[in-house]
């Protein structure tokens, strides 16, 4: 089940139910030589709501989806939450885990270091054909970060990028983290936004590999969105950013 996003500026993104059984300063793991430009007409962007989804099953579904892609496969955004889990990027170092919380630790194939996922955190996985969109990796990272910045700005919160530290910050505190994988011209993994969650597990890690990095969430910033509402809004803003970069 899916909906297509053609003009996200004038129509909201429809998030529907489904089930899923590099560059300097960018948390990227790359395979296959980047994103060659191909003159293929863009396909609509589909948004899927996976609900609460097991991390490893979702990761495997992303790998399978990417491996099966053709030039005609529509791009997709997958919105979900995960049960509590720690994930370590492809080049991640175990010393960034400071204490054993009894949580699963999954060594994954995205870029970046260690992070925590749990209920109340929205994750949007970005499964795009960058070649078809004529989009460079740095441009994709900028689009993702800008989508979060615009979402927070719509609720009166000033957010920003920090040079050399991918993600989105409110003051010194990180509210959204990102890590990507590029296989040929196809991206997967994506962005996590802290919405209304237990932040205490972040104290047991160096978030994204930065010792002492504070983290925050939209609830503590005075934004009353539920995780479901935040997922829909973030997908809308990201669809707008992607459409702008196609022109």
45 to each of 42, 104, 118, how far by Cα in Å?
Answer: 9, 32, 26
Phi, psi torsion values for 88, nearest 5 degrees? -120, 125
N- to C-terminal Cα separation, the chain:
28
How far apart, in whole angstroms, are the C-alpha atoms of residue 219 and residue 96?
26
Which strands, in side-by-side order, build the sheet including 105-107? 105-107, 85-88, 114-117
**Which one is catalytic: 79, 137, 149, 208?**
208
Reference 44, options 72, 78, 4, 8; nearest CA is 4
How far apart, in whole angstroms, are the C-alpha atoms of residue 14 and residue 50?
13
CB 34 within 8 A of CB 182: yes
Q: Is 208 a catalytic residue?
A: yes
Count of alpha carbons within 13 angstroms of residue 149, beta-carbon side: 17
Residues belonging to the active site: 208
């Amino acid at each position: 089940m899916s909906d297509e996003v053609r003009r996200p500026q004038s129509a909201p993104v429809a998030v529907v139910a489904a089930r899923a059984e590099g560059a300097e300063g960018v948390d990227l793991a790359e395979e296959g030589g980047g994103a060659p430009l191909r003159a293929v007409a863009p396909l609509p962007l589909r948004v899927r709501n996976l609900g609460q989804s097991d991390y490893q099953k979702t990761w495997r579904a992303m790998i399978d989806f990417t491996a099966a892609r053709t030039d005609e496969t529509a791009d997709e955004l997958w919105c979900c939450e995960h049960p509590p889990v720690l994930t370590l990027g492809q080049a991640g170092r175990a010393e960034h885990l400071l204490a054993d919380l009894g949580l699963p630790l999954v060594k994954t194939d995205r870029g970046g270091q260690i992070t925590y996922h749990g209920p109340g955190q929205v994750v949007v996985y970005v499964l795009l054909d960058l070649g078809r969109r004529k989009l460079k990796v740095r441009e994709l990272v900028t689009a993702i970060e800008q989508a979060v910045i615009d979402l927070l700005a719509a609720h009166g919160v000033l957010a920003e990028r920090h040079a050399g530290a991918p993600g989105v910050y409110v003051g010194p505190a990180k509210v959204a983290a990102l890590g990507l994988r590029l296989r040929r011209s196809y991206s997967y993994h994506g962005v996590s936004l802290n919405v209304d969650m237990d932040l205490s597990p972040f104290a047991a890690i160096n978030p994204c590999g930065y010792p002492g990095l504070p983290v925050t969430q939209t609830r503590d910033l005075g934004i009353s969105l539920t995780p479901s509402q935040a997922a829909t809004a973030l997908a809308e803003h990201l669809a707008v950013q992607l459409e702008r970069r196609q022109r």
